[in-house]
């Protein structure tokens, strides 16, 4: 089975969040199940340099305002990549979506319409003799792929799967932009990609794809409600027969405390001792007081409203009073960055904040912390709690989306039956989080149960095996 992934991010080539991790890891898991997967991504600066054995497989004289070519090559991990090299669209340093002023590039719509057009073209006409049976699109940046495919003849059209990683980002633009896409004007209707007087890339993906998935079963249900559907719940209810939730996994080779090159000492569920050394390393690297007994809570996150981290600010003094420490790695909204920086300045040695993006440090924090906090208001899947489970760092999570599906709350029953892996809380409010923090400190004081839960967390299956098999079943079903 040949599958083309189309996405705007792919680890280790370019990453701003979990989408990249999924697009980088799932194809490798699918390859184990005899799928032939290639990943189409834009060739952002430096990306081609990370590919081995690359060759030009297609050339386009004019693609949305300039020439472009398609480069085929492999990552060190053996991921097959098709990089769309279009300097007028993608040769811009830094974050793939944001300009130097921190705002979206004004032509993002055009940049990702181009990616979609090429995704569809490979799907329909093949590239270098390779033609996919299925085009699997990820998030709004690829939402026009199914529209482009639908605009052509049914004969020779590959099947399409569209995965919603986050419905909050919809890629909406005006009619005048739509008119530049070369799609039939009959698509610009409420039954098509028109969305409250605009053209929505995401809605296009939802209405024109053969199958829809999202990244957890709970989010698949939540998406169909006004509270979570962000205006698209009606469309998703109409298409609910074609929508399913498949939980994300993680790359358990990249994220393995027994062999992680970024961490101070290796450890595992059977040999957990190295985690104490990792905790000291975290404290040293972050400038926290080196105290083996402090409860170290970490946060590794985009700092946006979605992630609910504003709720933590009010609890910082209480956490410190209880003898806890906080280590934050993240970036995002200036107001939140400022609030965390101020907390760090007010509580040196107890609160440490690193604003920015640092992949290696995220491993150090996962390995050294006792708990990770993920108080998201909504969370399609969430990956940091999965890394945390594997590193024996107990997740304290909001009961929503994939967080609800991956962490087993340490209540009386689950502690007794030995199934608990972390803490869940609801409602996602300041007081809801306050109760969770209280429970966390109580559990941390109960060393016997804490160790049991930690060991259980570390053996909880977080790899891609089961979910990759679910995708194969979905693809197979589409092709019969
Ligand atoms: P989202 O994709 O919504 O941001 P996920 O939990 O699915 O949330 O994925 C976030 C990914 O980005 C994880 O791999 C996490 O470790 C990583 N990450 C987030 N912020 C940072 C940061 N500041 N530095 C390094 N890695 C980060
Ligand atoms: C999105 C979601 C996150 C999910 C990730 C990968 O960024 O916000 O919950 O884990 O995509 O699917």
CATH number, domain of 403, equals 3.40.50.2000
Domain match, 367 and 246 both: no
Is 250 a pocket residue for ligand 2 (Cβ < 6 Å)?
A: no
Position 102 scores a pLDDT of 87
Position 141 scores a pLDDT of 98
| Residue 387 resides in a domain | yes
Q: How far is the CA of 326 from the centre of ligand 2 (A)?
A: 24
Position 267 scores a pLDDT of 98
Cβ neighbours for 87, distance < 8 A, ≥ 6 positions apart: 66
Q: How far is the CA of 151 from the centre of ligand 1 (A)?
A: 36
Q: How far is the CA of 382 from the centre of ligand 1 (A)?
A: 8
Position 324 scores a pLDDT of 98
Domain match, 53 and 185 both: yes
Domain match, 470 and 454 both: no
Testing ligand 2's pocket by substitution, the residue of 164, 215, 406 carrying the most ligand atoms inside 8 A of its CB is: 215
How many Cβ atoms are within 10 Å of 341's Cβ, its own excluded? 14
| Residue 125 resides in a domain | yes
Backbone angles phi and psi of 246, in degrees to 5: -120, 120
Position 106 scores a pLDDT of 95
Is 166 a pocket residue for ligand 2 (Cβ < 6 Å)?
A: yes
Give the number of the ligand closest to the Cα of residue 378. 2
| Residue 182 resides in a domain | yes
Domain match, 363 and 383 both: yes
| Residue 355 resides in a domain | yes
Testing ligand 1's pocket by substitution, the residue of 7, 9, 18, 386 carrying the most ligand atoms inside 8 A of its CB is: 18
Position 462 scores a pLDDT of 98
In 3D space, the residue among 285, 452, 434, 301 whose CA is nearest the CA of residue 379 turns out to be: 301
Burial class, 424, CB count within 10 angstroms (exposed 0-12 / middle 13-18 / buried 19+): buried
Q: How far is the CA of 300 from the centre of ligand 2 (A)?
A: 14
| Furthest CA-CA distance within the chain | 68
Q: What is the mean pLDDT for each group of 10 consecutive residues in the chain (480 residues)? A: 98 96 98 98 97 95 98 97 98 94 94 98 95 98 98 95 98 97 98 98 98 98 98 98 98 97 97 97 98 98 97 98 98 96 98 97 98 98 98 98 98 97 98 98 98 97 98 97
Give the Å distances, CA to CA, from 296 to 283, 351, 425. 9, 10, 19
Terminal C-alpha separation, the chain: 12
Three-class SS state of 7: coil
Domain match, 306 and 211 both: no
* Total tally of structural domains belonging to the chain: 2
Domain match, 469 and 355 both: no
| Residue 262 resides in a domain | no
Task: State the closest ligand 1 atom to the C-alpha of 21, by its place in the atom list counted from 1.
Answer: 14
Domain match, 165 and 19 both: yes
Q: How far is the CA of 145 from the centre of ligand 1 (A)?
A: 26
| Residue 267 resides in a domain | no
| Residue 428 resides in a domain | yes
Which long-range contacts does 340-346 make (Cβ < 8 Å, 24+ apart)? Answer: 340/303, 340/309, 340/313, 343/313, 343/316
Residue pair 49/118 in contact by the 8 Å Cβ criterion: no
Q: How far is the CA of 306 from the centre of ligand 1 (A)?
A: 13
Predicted TM-score (pTM) of this structure: 0.97
Q: How far is the CA of 403 from the centre of ligand 2 (A)?
A: 11
Domain match, 374 and 425 both: yes
Parallel, antiparallel, or unpaired: how do β-strands 324-332 and 211-214 relate? unpaired
Burial class, 440, CB count within 10 angstroms (exposed 0-12 / middle 13-18 / buried 19+): buried
Q: Whose CA is nearest to atom 11 of ligand 2?
A: 165
Domain match, 109 and 221 both: yes
| Residue 259 resides in a domain | no
Position 79 scores a pLDDT of 98
Domain that holds residue 453: 274-459
Apex CA 309: angle with CA 246 and CA 169, to 5°? 50
Q: Whose CA is nearest to atom 10 of ligand 2?
A: 382
Domain match, 59 and 162 both: yes
Domain match, 147 and 278 both: no
Domain match, 398 and 446 both: yes
DSSP 158: P
Rounded CA-CA distance 288/296 in Å is 10
């Amino acid at each position: 089975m040949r599958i083309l992934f189309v996405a705007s991010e792919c680890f280790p080539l370019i990453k701003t969040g979990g989408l990249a991790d999924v697009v980088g890891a799932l194809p490798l898991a699918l390859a184990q199940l005899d799928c032939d997967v290639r990943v189409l991504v834009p060739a952002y600066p430096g990306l081609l340099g990370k590919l081995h054995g690359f060759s030009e497989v297609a050339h386009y004289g004019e693609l949305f305002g300039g020439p472009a070519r398609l480069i085929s090559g492999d990552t060190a991990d053996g991921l097959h990549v098709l990089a769309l090299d279009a300097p007028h669209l993608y040769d811009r340093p830094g974050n793939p979506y944001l300009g130097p002023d921190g705002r979206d590039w004004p032509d993002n719509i055009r940049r990702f319409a181009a990616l979609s057009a090429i995704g569809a073209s490979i799907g329909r006409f093949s590239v270098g003799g390779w033609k996919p049976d299925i085009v699997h699109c990820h998030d709004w940046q690829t939402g026009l792929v199914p529209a482009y495919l639908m605009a052509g003849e049914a004969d020779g059209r590959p099947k399409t799967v569209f995965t919603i990683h986050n419905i909050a980002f919809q890629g909406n633009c005006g009619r005048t932009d739509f008119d530049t896409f070369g799609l039939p004007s009959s698509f610009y209707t409420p039954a098509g990609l028109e969305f409250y007087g605009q053209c929505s890339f995401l809605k296009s993906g939802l209405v024109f794809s053969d199958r829809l998935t999202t990244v957890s079963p709970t989010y698949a249900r939540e998406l169909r409600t006004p509270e979570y559907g962000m205006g698209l719940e009606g469309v998703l209810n109409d298409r609910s027969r074609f929508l399913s939730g498949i939980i994300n996994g993680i790359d358990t080779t990249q994220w393995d405390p027994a062999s992680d090159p970024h961490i101070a000492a290796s450890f595992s569920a059977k040999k957990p001792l190295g985690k104490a050394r990792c905790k000291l390393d975290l404290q040293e690297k972050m400038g926290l007081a080196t105290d083996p007994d402090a409860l170290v809570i970490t946060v590794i996150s985009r700092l946006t409203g979605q992630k609910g981290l504003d709720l933590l600010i009010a609890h910082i003094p209480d956490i410190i009073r209880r003898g806890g420490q906080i280590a934050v790695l993240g970036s995002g909204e200036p107001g939140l960055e400022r609030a965390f920086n101020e907390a760090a300045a007010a509580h040196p040695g107890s609160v440490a904040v690193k604003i920015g993006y640092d992949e290696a440090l995220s491993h150090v924090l996962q390995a050294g912390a006792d708990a990770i906090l993920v108080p998201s208001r909504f969370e399609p899947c969430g990956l940091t709690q999965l890394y945390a489970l594997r590193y024996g760092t107990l997740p304290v999570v909001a009961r929503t989306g994939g967080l609800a599906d991956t962490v087993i709350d340490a209540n009386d029953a689950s502690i007794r039956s030995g199934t608990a892996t972390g803490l869940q809380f609801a409602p996602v409010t300041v007081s809801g989080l306050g109760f969770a923090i209280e429970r966390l400190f109580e559990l941390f004081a109960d060393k016997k149960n804490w160790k049991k839960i930690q060991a259980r967390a570390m053996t909880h299956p977080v790899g891609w095996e089961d979910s990759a098999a679910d995708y194969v079943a979905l693809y197979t079903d589409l092709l019969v």
